[in-house]
Chain A
Amino acid sequence: MSSTLIAAPILLPVLAGTATLLFRRRRRAIGAGISMMSCAGLLAIAALLLARTNGAAPEAYALGDWPAPFGIVLVLDQLAALMLVLTALLGLAVSVHTALTGLDRKGWHFHALFQFQLLGVNGAFLTGDLFNLFVFFEVLLIASYGLMLHGQGAKRLTAGVQYVIINLVGSSVFLVALGLLYGVTGTLNMADMAVRAATLPDGDRGLLNAGAFLLMLVFGLKAALLPVHLWLPRTYACTAPAMAAMFAIMTKVGAYAIIRTATLIFGDAAGAFLLPAALATMVLGYAGMLAARQLRDMAAFGLLGSTATLLAAIALFDETAMTAALYYLLHTTLAAGVLFLLVDLVVGWRAVEGADIVPTPAYKGKIALGVMFFITAIGFAGLPPLSGFIGKLLILAAAQSAPLAPWIWAVVLVTSLMGIVALARAGSTLFWKSDTSPPIPASRAAPDYAEAAPVIALLALLALLAAAAGPITAYTQATAAQLFERQAYITAVLGTPDRSTAP
């Protein structure tokens, strides 16, 4: 009965989302309250699940009481739990931020869409069924369309058209891959597919590979890998920064799916093109940061680059690298999130409209913003004492034995420098250089400093991530070990391997 808790991260947002629809959809305050409570609840549940799965074997939950692989199963393992916690943390911060800054008042059904987005993300992390994964991808995507367009305006709408179209095509590719995989293996359950793929006649392997590679392409699209990364910078730069902060988790859903399917079913065959693509994307991302003329672009390209760094680590595909990757995943998601939230504060607080990187006259809260920006930049650029530094060290150390090691090292170190320079330039222009025009009249309302709470909380979290790096890396290490020891997962889902597909 208590195993139902595994499904809770999916059910809670559903109920919360529908509740915001039913209870007086015109009263935003109620919506905000429900939304924040739901996020807090999700955090609590995720924490429980993490505690429960920590050091334990994976645990399967058969929906509809149909035995796997015939029904749909949810699977809780250390990786899933980790991702759930991360999502809940980010979700809570963002929902509080939006409520404080009043973003949710700028359009319809914000909180419903937000909850459904969480539902999709959590579902993707929990499901053990490939087609069900597709469904949850669609849920989180269509919710993200709504959120991305929230607030509208010409630029956002135009960018939205592109974002939606590219992802619709992506979904089609996903279905083709699913078709191929079902066609040759005759199953949709991931664990079962892992078993069957191992014993597949050679003649069918080609189709299996094709399906696997197409799947990787779709996940690569979500994670914004060269050459299918082009959609990300514009989308994230054009949507409301707070939403971009939430979307920081979506690229990680792609990364998660790659980890899951590669470790469980397909093996590292995809690594051959994953690693070069990731390195190239890193260069493009940080070059974009250097090139950015306004903060939203800078943050968007930064997200592109840091996610690519994560994927490079994943593509190394061994236990040490995965340990590093999972720690860096935690860091980069939160760091990107806080960067976008901060951009939102800058845009909201400072005197001039827009997010251009230009000097401004003194305004209320400029110093405070400057300090926060400095700390955020340290976190994002991967400098001590925040967690990014440890993450990068872990990745470098893990890459040392890889065949492409010199390349990985060069790219990681050079791109880091690009990031530092870009952020230093932006920061000194925004907060040090003050333009000569007279200061803003005192009549202008002072910013509501409470709005900074989520940013400060996330920054504290980054510090905690560094301080507690010992236990956290221990957890990611165990998680990596669990991922590469796939039999435990298979047994958890199918029971003893031999009766895997007996009706």
Chain B
Amino acid sequence: MYLVWLTLLPFIGAMLMPLVRAQGRSLQTLVAAGPAVIGLVMLGTIAPKVMAGEVPALRAAWVPALGLDVSLRVDALGWLFAALILGIGLLIIAYTRFYLSPKDDFARFLALLLLFQGAMLGIALSGNVLLLLIFWELTSLSSFLLIGFKNDKAEGRQGARMALAVTGGGGLALIGGLVLLGQIAGSYELADILARGAMIQASPLYPAALVLILLGCFTKSAQFPFHFWLPHAMAAPTPVSAYLHSATMVKAGVFLLARLWPALAGSELWFALVATTGLVTMVVAAAIALHRHDLKAILAYSTVSHLGLLTMLLGFGTPAAAQVAIFHLINHALFKAALFMNAGIVDHETGTRDIRLLGGLAGLMPITATLGTVAAASMAGLPPFGGFLSKELMLEEVWHTPFLGAQGLLLPAAVVIGASLSVAYSLRYLYGLYFGTRPDSFSQAPHDPGIGLWLPPALLVAGTVLVGLFPQTLTKGLVSAAAAATTGGTAPLFKPMLWHGLTPALAMSVIAVAFGTMALWQHRPLQKLWDSLALPDAKMLFERGLAGTIAIARALTDAVHNGALQRQLALLFAAAIALGAWGMAAVPFAAGTRPTLPAPPLAIIAWLMLLAGVIAVCMVQAQRFLSLIYISIIGVVVSLAFVYLSAPDLALTQISVEVVTVLLLLLALNLLPKQPPALSGTGRRLRDAAIGVVGGGAIGFAAYAVMTRAPLDPISAYHLANSKSGGGGTNVVNVTLVDFRAFDTFGEIIVLGIAALAIFALLQPASRGPSGQRLRAWLPDMPRSPEYHPMMFAVAARLLLPLASMIGIYIFLRGHNLPGGGFIAGLVFSIAMLMQYMASGYEWSTQRRRIDEHLMIGLGVLIAAVTGLGSLPFGAPLFTSWFDYFTLPLVGEFELTSAMAFDIGVALTVVGAVMLALKELSHVAQRAEKDEAHDDAPMDIDPAKLRAAPAAAEDVP
């Protein structure tokens, strides 16, 4: 359980930071330090067990479907890494307390730092690789925020984005790699994976998994060629650089290499990839470091170089080398963090980080100078410091490790070059800063800072000295335990000592020191040479690559999504044809056997009319009134077909819909251009015609194929059988609509109602804004008959109204048993009403209008719904119909059905919808004249303005 607390503590601390925001910095520092202190105590208590080889662990299921468990474990390796994270974290927090300038948001900074600390701890303690992935990504995110902490500076933002892109990208590769690894091993539990190394390396997926995982590790640990993001991450405040980018986060990659060592290491491929990458990184980065002038840049590249060294050692794949790697990991963390803080102090005191403007500070700030010198010496690998020991052991390993199978001097030579460069830049650092000539350009005389700033690095430096002097007593236990945990075996004998006789290793480091000093002595010409090389700037390459990618993305996007409707439709039609054809072609097709009906001459004539109509519409679509006439001819022919082929209801509906539609189009056309110029070129027309012909052919074929095969006992047989007995009506179509499938009809009238509402919403604002101006501009030149409301028409219309209503009611009543029904009745009635509007004008009719259409639509839908609900009280399901026969004097026997009520709802909705739509359309122009006063603001303005003047926005129309 304490493992959970150990992991959660930093996050809890981060949560607390906002609460103490108001308090002083010291309190905030205490709160922030809390998790580290408690955590270290916890680690201390379990240390003996862990060093003895026990592995305290905890496991709770989280997502079983995925194999992702909350699984934590502390072996010596995890313990070591956790201790580093917490220990150095503690010092950094203390250091920050005095480093950060008063205007910076201290609480926010600490919160982010703790967030990061928690994520790192998670990596160190995860016992499940998927869980590890989660913490891994969290470190990328928190480092993104920390690098961008000074987000008003461009380099801060760019550095942050670059770091996120590189490590985030690597993280994604790592996701792939670890998931693969888990699939191979059959478990995501670290313990299982580590136990199944042989099985994993035997798998055909091993190379893929390895490469993906290495991508993750190398990007995180800034290995060549992914090294370039780290120096730019130095835009972050120095404490961040010291913590994330030297001591902990960049070591996560190396840590993971060590973590998975038993599962992955040992193969040819492993050696080739890991050792080589490490070696190249070590040398290249060291060379760059020697030629930088910004203190933090020098340290950054030296970090990269040392990470390369660690990677190389792990790449060797031998337990001994791995053990050395662990040892050097500790040493590096000690002196490098100290150096960053040291550089921070110098920056803080002198106001510059350019080594060329610095020098001779030893006299001015002795404490800082001493600390810096010792740390740099350890980095250079000079005795008697920790760095020396690990370097010696490293050289020892290098000496008797065959490189890529070839025992030779290539590897040692390369390593010696790297080591000499490392000596060179280390010496340059301490010489350039603390000795040499002192420039008199300092604004104020720099002096040693307060203890708050130098104590933390001092502790680290003390560490590196002590390790150097008493390696056995101090580090033996920890290192060999950690090494054992890393390799999953027993650690080889660990014997670091300052003097170990005249060995090749000693010789190599002597050479390295000599070369290094010479390189420093000859630094000026070397620098010239280096500058003349004009090596490509990785950052520039990255930015350029990104810009290129974005340019490509834009080109692609604009090319594909050009916003042309024709393309969308053409693709849709083409896809439909292709898929239909594919479906047909997939299996053998059998032609139908159903006997066909002979076609009477009349039908053929009608067919010819239809053909002519279609062609005519396509031809004259430029003259729009004409095309309207032709298309109504087509409509008539279709209705005739329905009549002839025993579908009277369809015919009635089709024809009445026809009337209303044409009316609608006429009204719209009234305001649209009448004869616009054609747009499409001939090629385009031909292409479209081709698509049309193929599509038509396809659907025609499908229709014929279906019509000519015998039906496969369709469910409608049941409808015919039960229409009268169960539905109480003889018109099966109508019964189907209002009973069997009343639910469809219910949806259908809702669609109609919504259409009307949408139309209303569309046209209401039409009289304002640009469209209002257009309407007003358009009105005058509209041809008007001298008489606004022709007398004859008006009279006829009014006489017609009651008549039409009678017809409507009649059609409605017979609907259940004979062709007709609510929908058609509604249409007929609304046509009659519309004639009133047309004949007598809008005012006259609205004055006499009894009920508002919105209400009518609402009521219609509501009645239909209530009818549907009506059956519930009787314990029957929704929309269960009911009917019975009654006899009244005079009237005789008649039938009442619940379906009738439903049909009333239908009729009401239809009337309401049609009236609303056509009425709005018919007088949109007139209203424009009246509404001139309205404001012309477009309707979607930003809400802030709405708030500013809520009164204005209260009611739109």
CA of A285 to CA of B751 in the docked complex: distance in angstroms? 32
Q: Given A7-B878, A14-B861, A400-B180, is A106 in contact with B956 using a C-beta cutoff of 8 Å?
A: yes
Query: In the complex the two chains form, is B939's CB within 8 Å of A153's CB?
Result: yes
Residues of B within 8 A of A217 (CB): 572, 575-576, 579
The answer to whether B721 touches A503 (Cβ under 8 A) is yes
Which single member of B702, B855, B942 contacts A180 (CB below 8 Å)?
B702
Report how far A396 CA is from B859 CA in the complex, Å: 52
Asked if A291 is at the interface (CB within 8 A of a chain B CB), the reply is: yes
Are B557 and A18 in contact (CB-based, < 8 A)? no
Secondary structure class of chain B's binding surface, majority of residues: helix
Across-interface contacts of B66 in A (CB, < 8 A): 390, 393-394, 397, 469, 473
Question: Which of B913-957 touch A at CB < 8 Å?
Answer: 938-940, 942-944, 946-948, 950, 953-957
B857 within 8 A of A: yes
Report whether B565 and A166 are in contact in the complex, using a CB–CB cutoff of 8 Å: yes
* B942 to A: closest C-beta gap in Å: 5
Nearest Cβ distance between residue A288 and chain B, in whole angstroms? 5
A428 and B713 contact, CB distance less than 8 A:
no
**Which listed residue (B130, B583, B741, B857) contacts A210, Cβ 8 A?**
B583
Contacts of B50 in A (CB 8 A): none
Residue among B180, B582, B743, B854 having the largest count of chain A Cβ atoms under 10 Å? B743
Q: How far is the CA of A211 from the CA of B169 in the complex (A)?
A: 43
- Chain B residues lying within 8 Å of A394, measured Cβ to Cβ, are 65-66
* Cβ of A189 under 8 Å from chain B: yes
Interface size on B, residues (CB 8 A): 141
CB-contact partner of A287 in B556, B764, B877, B946, under 8 A = B556
Fill in one digit per residue for A232-253: 1 if any B CB lies within 8 Å of its CB, else 0. 0110000010000000000000
The reply to whether B770 and A154 contact each other, CB–CB distance below 8 Å, is yes
User: What residues on B are CB-neighbors of A501 within 8 Å?
Assistant: 713, 715
Complex Cα–Cα for A421 and B160 (A)? 11
In the complex the two chains form, is A227's CB within 8 Å of B757's CB?
A: no
We find that the number of chain A residues with CB closer than 8 angstroms to chain B is: 152
User: Which residue of the partner chain, among B164, B554, B712, B947, contacts A196 with CB atoms under 8 Å?
Assistant: B712
Instruction: Give Cα A360–Cα B761 distance, bound, in whole angstroms.
Output: 35
Q: A138-B751, A182-B714, A393-B179 are in contact. Are A432 and B157 (CB under 8 A)?
A: yes
Residue in contact with B572 in the complex, picked from A28, A139, A228, A284, CB distance below 8 Å: A228
Q: Is A260 an interface residue when CB atoms closer than 8 A count as contact? A: no
A264 to B134, CA, bound (A): 37
CB of A207 closer than 8 Å to a CB of B? yes
Determine if A71 is an interface residue (Cβ-Cβ < 8 Å): yes
Instruction: Please give the distance in Å from A115's CB to the nearest CB on chain B.
Output: 10
Residue of B554, B858, B877 near A291 (CB, 8 A) is B554
B647 on the A face (CB < 8 A) = no
Query: Nearest Cβ in chain A — how far from B675, in angstroms?
Result: 21
Q: Give the residue of B182, B865, B872 whose beta carbon is less than 8 angstroms from that of A18.
A: B865
A348 to B571, CA, bound (A): 37
* A71-B741, A233-B561, A501-B715 known; A108+B587 contact, CB < 8 A: no
A383 within 8 A of B: yes
Within the complex, what minimum Cβ distance (angstroms) separates B803 from chain A?
31
A25 and B857 alpha carbons, distance in the complex (Å): 13
Q: Is the CB of A503 within 8 A of B744?
A: no
A-contacting 9-mer, from B194-202, B677-685, B703-711, B821-829 = B703-711
**Residue B301, interface by CB 8 Å:** no
Known: A188-B715, A284-B560. A25 touches B854 (CB 8 A): yes
Tell whether, in the assembled complex, residue A192 and residue B715 are in contact, meaning their CB atoms are under 8 Å apart: yes
* Contact code string B95-112 (vs A, CB < 8 Å = 1, else 0): 000000000000000000
Interface pair A165/B943, CB less than 8 Å apart? no
Q: Which B residue sits closest to A354, measured CB to CB?
A: B942
Docked Cα-Cα span, A139 to B871, in Å, equals: 24
B556 with A63: CB separation less than 8 A = no
Interface assignment of A372: CB less than 8 Å from any CB of chain B: no
Q: Give the complex CA separation of A445 and B949 in angstroms.
A: 11
B305 CB-CB contact with A under 8 Å: no
Q: Which of B136-144, B450-458, B598-606, B805-813 contacts A (4 or more CB under 8 A)?
A: B136-144
Tell me the complex Cα distance, A291–B63, Å: 35
**Known contacts A21-B857, A139-B751, A209-B586; is-contact A284 B148 (Cβ 8 Å):** no
Instruction: Give the Cβ gap from B153 to chain A, nearest Cβ, in Å.
Output: 9
- How far, in whole Å, are A25 and B182 apart by their CA atoms in the complex? 60
A470 and B878 contacting across the interface, CB-CB below 8 Å = no
Q: Is A477 an interface residue (CB 8 A)?
A: yes
A146 touches B757 (CB 8 A): yes
Task: Find the A residue at minimum CB distance from B580.
Answer: A210
CB-based contact B938/A153 at 8 Å: yes
- A470–B590 CB distance below 8 A: no
Residues of B126-157 contacting chain A, CB below 8 A: 130, 133-135, 137-138, 141, 144-145, 148, 151-152, 154, 156-157
A400–B176 CA distance with the chains assembled, in angstroms: 10
A residues 117-166 with Cβ under 8 Å of B?
119, 123, 131-132, 135-136, 138-139, 142-143, 145-146, 149-154, 156, 161-162, 165-166
A-B contact pairs, 20 of them (CB 8 A): A15-B862, A63-B879, A105-B956, A132-B743, A142-B754, A146-B758, A149-B761, A184-B706, A209-B587, A210-B580, A214-B580, A291-B553, A323-B65, A390-B66, A393-B68, A393-B130, A394-B65, A432-B152, A432-B156, A470-B61
